[in-house]
Structure 1
């Protein structure tokens, strides 16, 4: 059993990841922008200490650093889950530029802020892993232009993950990006392909079998290696 830090566990994939891990006995440290967002059913896990909730905003370095200082234990897996779909207007021909910047701030810079703040905890683990939720929508092999702010933020975070993989390989820390599938969440919509529970179970199975040979890669929720 390991200790997992998951950002944005209040809903969607983050919530299901936490559920899978808690049910099998792992320790979960979950972040929320507001601690009142935690599902009531989790109270039994917080009471026993198996689940720890941290309040932070991935846009706010001060809140992230304060959260990192509040814990003193190794982290085996850091899962950057928190993210947004971006503004309503995000066409290349009609862009909400403030919304575009906000999307990059959350989806691209947020994960890097989290990694930098919690890196000392990762270094204390035996073979730590950093997993960042991306999307095939950010792949440069796709020419589609809808939701271009979201797509660009995911393409950019893939590059950030590649850089982390290069810089942390000597430390024995794995860093990868993952595509969760088209998932039935608030972001993915009710017409998506798979439920969040299925995606989360696949992602956990992928994380379990990661080795340093996989670092810098981009994988889907079933473990298939994808092109950037």
Structure 2
């Protein structure tokens, strides 16, 4: 039975990832800050284990790594993230919000990936997937939203570096743009549903080969420019 670990699994894309992987018979390690308040996550059937994890807290990440020591993780899906201040420009940026957004969207997923690298390396599939955004693409930048954009651009570079560092271990690390998804973050009028987004990303994950290490994907399988 393959195993997936999902961060930010209590809502939105993370919750849908947990639902779909569990429905397909995977062992799901679902993490969130407060499992006691994650009612929707608790309601998912199948082989689902809930673990407490705050990606902003190094001690929380270390504790999870200790709990999971010796357990293989086929797919590590670093999904947890925040929007920061929506629409922020350089002219009105709040540097405290910017710093907190970078901590969650950049430091958090990299910290989790590095802490659990042995678990992924010990698995059959050896995949690390990161929920990024095409808003982090410099090639497609249209301006504005500097806080969110820069956090995702930095994540792109960090994953590219991580991919090179772990390539010799057989790990395939990729970044996804999940689409503009109808979630609390994406808003009620977003054009892509969570089931559509997750099904597309899972299809890409299932088809990854070592040569895809360090690549950037749209949820529908189209490559994206950095």
The number of residues matched between the two structures is 225
The residue that corresponds to 2:158 in the other structure is: 160
Structure 1 regions of 5+ residues with no counterpart?
none
Q: How far did 1:127 drift?
A: 3.3
Q: Residue 10 of structure 1 aligns to a residue in which SS?
A: coil
Q: Is the 8 A contact 1:89 1:96 kept in 2?
A: no
- Cα shift at 1:216: 0.5
Residue 150 (structure 2) pairs with residue 182 (structure 1): no
Q: Distance in 2 between matches of 1:12 and 1:64?
A: 21
State how far apart, in whole Å, the 2-side matches of 1:41 and 1:62 are.
23
Asked if the contact 2:134/2:177 (under 8 Å) is kept, the reply is: yes
Alpha-carbon distance between aligned partners in 2 of 1:128 and 1:88, rounded to the nearest angstrom: 34
**TM-score, normalised by the number of residues in structure 1:** 0.94
For 1:56, which of 53, 57, 70 is the aligned residue? Answer: 53
Counterpart in the other structure of 2:5: 5
Superposition RMSD in Å: 1.4
What's the secondary structure of 1:93's corresponding residue? Answer: helix
Residue 115 of structure 1 deviates from its aligned partner by 0.7
Which 4+ runs in 1 deviate beyond 3 A?
40-45
Q: Using structure 2 for the length normalisation, give the TM-score.
A: 0.95
Equivalence for 2:15: 15
Aligned partners of 1:86 and 1:147 also within 8 Å: no
Indicate whether 1:78 and 2:76 are aligned: yes
Distance 2:185 2:75 in 1: 24
Alignment partners' CA distance in 2, 1:80 and 1:4 = 10
Match of 2:201 in 1: 203
Deviations along 1:133-170, whole A, 9 cap, x unmatched?
10001110133222210000000000011001111111
- Structure 1 residue 68: Cα displacement: 1.3
Q: Secondary structure at the match of 2:116?
A: helix
